[in-house]
Structure 1
Amino acid sequence: MNNIPDIAVKLYAHSAQRQKSVADLIVPIQRDEYGIPITLKDQPDLLEIETFYQRGKGNFWTALHEGEVIGTIALLDIGQDRAALRKMFVKKEFRGGQYAVSKRLLDKAFIWAQQQGLAEVWLGTTPAFVAAHRFYEKNGFAEVNAEMLPPGFPVMEVDKKFYKRIV
């Protein structure tokens, strides 16, 4: 346990510098690791974290190690006590059981969801994120058909696989 780095998973005010750090983590993972042809311009929400995610029952968290953003997760309030899980990304070196950054981020989001009285969390993902599918299923998400998505759920162009978890 002594070799596990100090990792803080917190809610932060998202200054322009923090938002840049978030984008610098997310975009290369999408583009370089998973081959999704996406840019920062395609994701204006990353430049408007406070007004896009931190409203209603939604929120956005970052995981930091030595001041560097190594992970992110967001809940987007979509109404009727439902949220969409968005922007869950972890730097490659911090994935897996040893650091548990993904699990820590997800746990933080679900504690928030419970405190806010959310009933369901939904997510959409690309078929390419196979490890993520296993992670979501291991953490209580069940795959659903796109026809079951609630009104207001933001389907992204790359989303072809959908999940739901009761809070």
Structure 2
Amino acid sequence: MKTSTYLAIALAQDADIFIFDEPTWGLDPLRRDEVLDMISTLSESGKTVLYTSHIIPEVEKIADVFSIMYKGVILYTGEMKGLDDRFALYSLPLKTAIDKNDFTAAVKEANVLKILTDNPKEIARLKEIAGSTREKVNLESFFGTIVRGNKHVL
């Protein structure tokens, strides 16, 4: 109920900028969807919305531009649209010899090496590696690779 009250007060304002920090915390799924729709409407009406959340599907649903922050440092800022077109994410056999510094992020994960890049030459090189598999880049896979790779990509 506290979350709903805070949201009602915030949304009743005629401000140019709205800042929401985990605004759906404690809400049931139906109420959460209603809140996300209301926040999206603010943005569509020309208001500026700063939205922070650890719930990646919420961010994917409402964000046009997003930033990834880790330990107080912004690791990436960019548009949500076309993320899969701009970046390639490959899984390689763990023992593949590469220079991790050639890529946006490189992370050892279970028994594979995950490589994220937006460099067309590197993408072509990754395609040629035996056993490489290209994966879909969505915000969750992008976030996980950037944060675990912990490399600045501004």
Question: Common fold, TM-score beyond 0.5?
Answer: no
TM-score by length of 1: 0.30
TM-score by length of 2: 0.32
